[in-house]
C-alpha cells in the first residue's frame, strides 16, 4: 500500500514538474511569437487582468525596465495619449513612443518630473538586484530596492495612483511593511501564472494614499 502511495506521489511530482516546464516554455514561446521583449510581459498583463488599473491616457513610470517588456505592454494599454518612461541602470534597445533612461534608480531626480511635468498615474517596479548567492546579502539588497521603489512612489506617484512592485516572499515584514502602510492603501499580493513557481517573487499591488 505504502509503495502504491509513493508511486502515485512520484507520478504527481513528475507531472507537476512537466506542467511547470511546459508553462515556462509556453510563456517564452508566446513572448517570441508576439514580438514581446520579455516573458515578464505576461506577468504585467496578468497583474492588470486581476486589478484592472491601466487606462487610456495614463502616465507610467517603469523602474527596472530592461529589456523593455513591461514598458511595451504599458504603452499598448495606455494608448496614443499615454506616456511611458522606463528606467534601468543598463541600456535598453529603443521602442517607438517610449522614453528609456539609462540611470541607477538611486540617482533619479528631476528627470521624471521634467518628462511628465506632473506626478504619474501608475508606478511599476520589476527591479531585481544581481544576486551574490549569499542569502542574507541578497535578501537585504532586495529589501533595499523595494524601499527605493516605495520612496519613488512618495516622490513621483499621484495620490490614488497605482503602484505595482516585485517583492519576495517573506520580504514584506517589519520596517518595510510599516513603510508600505504609510504610503499605500488597499495592499494586495499576487503571484502571476507567468512567474516561475520555484521563484520566490510575488507582486504587490497598492494605491497611493
143 binds ligand SAM (CB under 6 A): no
- C-alpha closest to that of 193 among 13, 49, 14, 29: 49
Report whether the peptide linkage leading into residue 77 is cis, meaning its omega lies within 30 degrees of zero: no
- Give catalytic status of residue 7 as yes or no: no
Residue 121 binds ligand SAM, judged by CB under 6 A? no
Stretch touching ligand SAM by CB under 6 A, among 37-45, 75-83, 171-179, 180-188: 37-45
What distances in angstroms separate CA 93 from CA 27, 45, 64, 100, one per listed residue? Answer: 21, 21, 14, 9
- Per rule CB under 6 A, is residue 90 in the interface with ligand SAM? yes
Q: How many whole angstroms separate alpha carbon 205 and alpha carbon 102?
A: 25
**Distance in Å, CB of 59 to ligand SAM, minimum:** 18
Total residues at interface with ligand SAM (CB under 6 A):
23
Q: Is 45 an interacting residue with respect to ligand SAM (CB under 6 A)?
A: no
Binding of residue 48 to ligand SAM (CB under 6 A): no
Residues 147-206 interacting with ligand SAM (rule: CB under 6 A): none
Question: What's the CA gap between 44 and 69, in Å, rounded?
Answer: 9
Active centre residues (catalytic):
166
Amino acid at each position: 500500500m505504502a509503495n502504491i502511495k509513493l508511486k502515485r506521489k512520484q507520478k504527481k511530482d513528475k507531472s507537476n514538474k512537466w506542467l511547470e516546464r511546459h508553462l515556462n516554455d509556453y510563456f517564452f514561446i508566446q513572448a517570441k511569437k508576439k514580438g514581446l521583449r520579455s516573458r515578464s510581459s505576461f506577468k504585467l498583463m496578468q497583474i492588470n487582468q486581476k486589478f484592472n488599473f491601466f487606462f487610456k491616457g495614463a502616465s507610467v513610470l517603469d523602474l527596472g525596465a530592461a529589456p523593455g517588456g513591461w514598458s511595451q505592454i504599458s504603452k499598448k494599454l495606455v494608448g496614443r495619449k499615454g506616456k511611458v518612461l522606463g528606467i534601468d541602470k543598463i541600456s535598453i534597445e529603443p521602442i517607438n513612443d517610449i522614453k528609456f533612461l539609462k540611470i541607477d534608480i538611486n540617482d533619479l531626480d528631476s528627470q521624471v518630473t521634467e518628462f511628465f511635468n506632473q506626478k504619474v498615474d501608475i508606478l511599476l517596479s520589476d527591479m531585481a538586484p544581481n544576486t551574490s548567492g549569499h542569502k542574507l546579502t541578497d535578501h537585504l539588497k532586495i529589501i533595499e530596492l523595494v524601499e527605493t521603489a516605495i520612496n519613488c512612489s512618495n516622490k513621483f506617484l499621484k495620490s490614488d495612483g497605482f503602484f505595482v512592485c516585485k517583492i519576495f516572499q517573506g520580504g514584506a515584514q517589519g520596517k518595510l511593511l510599516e513603510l508600505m502602510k504609510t504610503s499605500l492603501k488597499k495592499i494586495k499580493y499576487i503571484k502571476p501564472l507567468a512567474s516561475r513557481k520555484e521563484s520566490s517573487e510575488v507582486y504587490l499591488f497598492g494605491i497611493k494614499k
